[in-house]
Amino acid sequence: MVNTTYKWRETTRSLGRRQRAFTLIEVLVVISVIATLLAILMPALGVARSRAQELVCRSNLRQILIASASYATEYNDFYVPAASDMWDNAGLQRWHGTRDNLDEPFDPLRGPLAGYVTDGQIKECPAAVDFVAEQDWNTNFERGCGGYGYNMTYIGSRLWEKSVDDLDAFKNAYWRTTHATEISMPCETLMFGDAAMCADGRSLMEYSFAEPPFTVYSGQPITSFYMSPSLHFRHRGHVNVGWADGHVWSREMADFKGKNAYGVDSSASKLGWFEPVDNTPFDLQ
């Protein structure tokens, strides 16, 4: 009688264990549900991460705008030069830093804005841009700007003046800059923006300037050809822009097709302009 009872209990426990275990089909169903949920959530998480990066980028641009305004306050309302040595000793002086030779990165602690930004450095854009890391000047000639470009043509120089029509005038125009009162509509004048450049059709390099669509000669845009676009639409097809009045907002990439000075299809690298594709968002009028 004892053995019979014992066997009955063991049989009951064995059946209970079998009843509590998952079948293969149940495991596969659970895995399928989890995979479906991940497929639904991952794009949403990616968008959330991208939006967070965009907000941090805007914060960085605001800090640069504040630094630029602070610089102007101390220099009789003239803005920081974009590249004061562009003509005679090109490549050693920039708005974001200074370097002693072309094959080293710009040192932000020696730059003209060093005393006006946190830690003396221009913060890097948090977007996952795979910028070229090589030190050679030929493949990375603007390294150190953090992924942001400055409106050199109209604000960081005086290339826009009618009197800039000979060699001496060009030399002087790079270290002389625009006065704050010369910007008639600051809320509609681009000062800084997300920037990059592509020279090989594959990789991006940091680039210090936000180029307008047309070069300017003797005060007039030359509309017979386009400049190499440097605004980088890295935030889900949008570029963050810091305007001369201090506000930051994003703009959508315009439908622009064309090759840059290196023969590269810029739009394939998310480089271009926003509407209108002319100099009006850059100029002083």
pLDDT in tens, 222-231: 999 999 999 9
Beta-bridge partners for 149: 193
139-148 mean pLDDT: 85
Q: Is the pLDDT of residue 191 over 80?
A: yes
3-state secondary structure of 252: strand
Cα dihedral sign for 259, 214, 245, 205?
positive
Q: Which comes out higher in pLDDT, residue 176 or 142?
A: 176
Q: Is the pLDDT of residue 213 over 70?
A: yes
- Whether 114 and 173 have beta carbons less than 8 Å apart is answered as no
Tokens of 28: 């596969």
HSE-up of 110 (CA within 13 Å, CB side)? Answer: 10
Angstrom distance (rounded) from CA 137 to CA 148: 18
Q: Is the pLDDT of residue 207 over 70?
A: yes
The confidence score (pLDDT) of residue 43 equals 62
36-46 mean pLDDT: 61
Angstrom distance (rounded) from CA 43 to CA 148: 27
Angstrom distance (rounded) from CA 165 to CA 262: 26
- The one-letter amino acid code at 143 reads R
Compute the chain's Rg from CA coordinates. 28
Among 83, 66, 78, which Cα is nearest to 178's?
Answer: 78
Among 217, 241, 213, which Cα is nearest to 227's?
Answer: 213
What residue ranges in 95-205 does DSSP mark as E strands? Answer: 97-98, 148-150, 190-194
Identify the helix (H) or strand (E) that includes residue 30: helix 24-74
Among 281, 127, 113, 118, which Cα is nearest to 194's?
Answer: 127
Tell me the pLDDT band of 148, cut-offs 50, 70 and 90.
very high
What is the pLDDT of the chain when averaged over all its residues? 87
pLDDT (tens digit, 9 = 90+) per residue, 92-139?
999 999 999 888 889 999 999 999 998 888 888 998 788 887 777 777
Q: Which comes out higher in pLDDT, residue 125 or 47?
A: 125
Angstrom distance (rounded) from CA 185 to CA 281: 10
Identify the helix (H) or strand (E) that includes residue 232: strand 231-232
HSE-up of 195 (CA within 13 Å, CB side)? Answer: 27
Q: Is the pLDDT of residue 271 over 90?
A: yes
- Whether 242 and 181 have beta carbons less than 8 Å apart is answered as no
Beta-bridge partners for 194: 148
